[in-house]
Structure 1
């Protein structure tokens, strides 16, 4: 405990006997009162007896110890303090703390000097540990965010109240109030497959009464990640038309990751990958490498009529398996 009584009114005080108590520290107010009493009179000493107390030798009490040292005999101050013991309270797990005897000012000086060095090394260590823990915490958080970055993006854009349409933004919930999906198929393709998609594949799908969303429907200037995520979320199936340009495309990377997240959310695969040319089978986007073998179909670009007919039937069957089972 500390001695915190107000004594500033005791202007005639010459001896203050606080010996044989359980005083561990002296409050700033008490110290200020002692100095104020001494300074208010001429050449009259004031002696405060702190012998046989449990004054704490710790970093928290270092300022008090330095103050006591300044007023320990021999001193030029009219305020004289006496203490005989100092108790170390660091790392005390049980029993009484370790104490040292203070027989002279030299003994107290030694203890204060030791604590000054100890506390100086202790504080930077604590600061270093806090900085290290903060650094490790940020690394862990960063690793978690990086690991789930696509899932975070997916839920961010899906949870956003605004969706796109070819004519601008509309509410996805409003447009789908009585219908879970706005589109049957979302087509993902690159520029080198654009002519095939728009002139052959999309018309063929629309002939079979599929509602198709193609990336050419996206208005210029709309945020790509937002639009792709919402179009995939609003479609029963996603058809990737793989061509040479697919491997280096940012649009492909976003679409592949968001389709994977949507598949995980629905608990089933919703994608079909069509190889538009044979060279596109090399270096697949990483998420498409996770697709089952029967999720891929090869377009016979130079095939016969029979091969094209067989392709159309196979494509329709695989697509129907995804679309009809999507609730």
Structure 2
């Protein structure tokens, strides 16, 4: 086979193997609708001329729809390498190129009369495609960063809600080993505890020796921080124990302001209150007389949710305090 004439055949592509046609001199694909050349065709044409010494091979692609695009840049560079004048035995001819692939609505063709015309178009595309690729990569990176910032902000904003539902969702795995033993009468109740006491070390003696015994005397089942066994994950236990309590009482002391554990309890209580659709907490001032510096969730408590413990009060004032505390607890208990 020496000559192949396939002009004017409305060919969109030509992908037949030619490497075995070592005597081929002319491949005429002019006046078709070809917009690119496959790797296979280019490789076969190069192989043919590399196997002989002086016979030239002409590939005529004039009056086709060769694409001047970033996707077709490699093909255009290959055509340039074989465009006359060239020392290569393979000569490729094109007469036009187009800047879109939509062959059903082509703009005016770009004429390629000389090798310099093709050089000009390729040089332009090399600069354009490089800037386009850089722009695309930059936009992808920016989009990735923006999406990550949005997701991170969303997660940060809902971090306590996510923690709350994560640990509450695993609450069914809770065993009696997580907490102190419970009365049998409470094992089948929605709530394991009547009151959860949140406090810091500087109020520990008051809680364990005064407050907790008094609440037990009122026949409340009380859970305190000291009931948590060593080695258990604090956030997990705090969430589950607050979820299992009817009322959460925060003992406000000076140590509460810097306590991460106390702050966690405040946030989880806020999420639990939102879940139940009603307030479930009280704030008792033990040795602190201001909410400044306390977690925001407690600063938003209703005014009647705060109660002062009369540390230096008379017997009558202390008795009135216990009655007031009992009344406030019962109001919350009755609504849960």
TM-score, normalised relative to structure 1 = 0.93
Gaps of 5+ in 1: none
Structure 2 residue corresponding to 1:153, chosen from 146, 151, 163: 163
Give distance in 2, aligned partners of 1:13 and 1:23. Answer: 21
Give the deviation of 1:185 after TM superposition.
Answer: 0.5
Give distance in 2, aligned partners of 1:96 and 1:66. Answer: 22
Q: 1:181 to 1:108 in 2, by over 3 A?
A: same
Q: Answer whether contact 1:54 1:87 (CA < 8 A) is retained.
A: yes
RMSD: 2.1
Per mean C-alpha deviation after superposition, the further-off stretch among 11-20 and 21-30 is 11-20
Q: Answer whether contact 1:189 1:246 (CA < 8 A) is retained.
A: yes
Gaps of 5+ in 2: 1-11
1:185 alignment partner, SS class: strand
- Is 2:272 aligned against 1:262? yes
Q: Answer whether contact 1:38 1:45 (CA < 8 A) is retained.
A: yes
1:239 alignment partner, SS class: strand
After TM superposition, the structure 1 = structure 2 runs for residues 65-144 of structure 1, keeping only pairs within 5 Å, are 65-89=76-100, 95-144=105-154
TM-score, normalised relative to structure 2 = 0.90
Q: 1:193 to 1:84 in 2, by over 3 A?
A: same
- Is 2:72 aligned against 1:61? yes
CA displacement, residues 171-220 of structure 1 (integer Å, 9 cap, x when unaligned): x9xx9873111111000011111111111111111111110001111112
- Is 2:198 aligned against 1:188? yes
Alignment-derived partner of residue 285 in structure 2: 275
Alignment-derived partner of residue 2 in structure 1: 13
Give the deviation of 1:306 after TM superposition.
Answer: 1.4
Q: 1:96 to 1:293 in 2, by over 3 A?
A: same
Between Structure 1 and Structure 2, which shows a larger proportion of strand residues? 1
Give the deviation of 1:221 after TM superposition.
Answer: 1.9
Q: Answer whether contact 2:60 2:92 (CA < 8 A) is retained.
A: yes
- Is 2:325 aligned against 1:315? yes
CA displacement, residues 140-195 of structure 1 (integer Å, 9 cap, x when unaligned): 01100110011111111111253364x4479x9xx987311111100001111111
Give distance in 2, aligned partners of 1:216 and 1:70. Answer: 83
Give distance in 2, aligned partners of 1:177 and 1:276. Answer: 32
Q: How many residues align?
A: 321
Give distance in 1, aligned partners of 2:312 and 2:302. Answer: 26
Give distance in 1, aligned partners of 2:292 and 2:20. Answer: 92
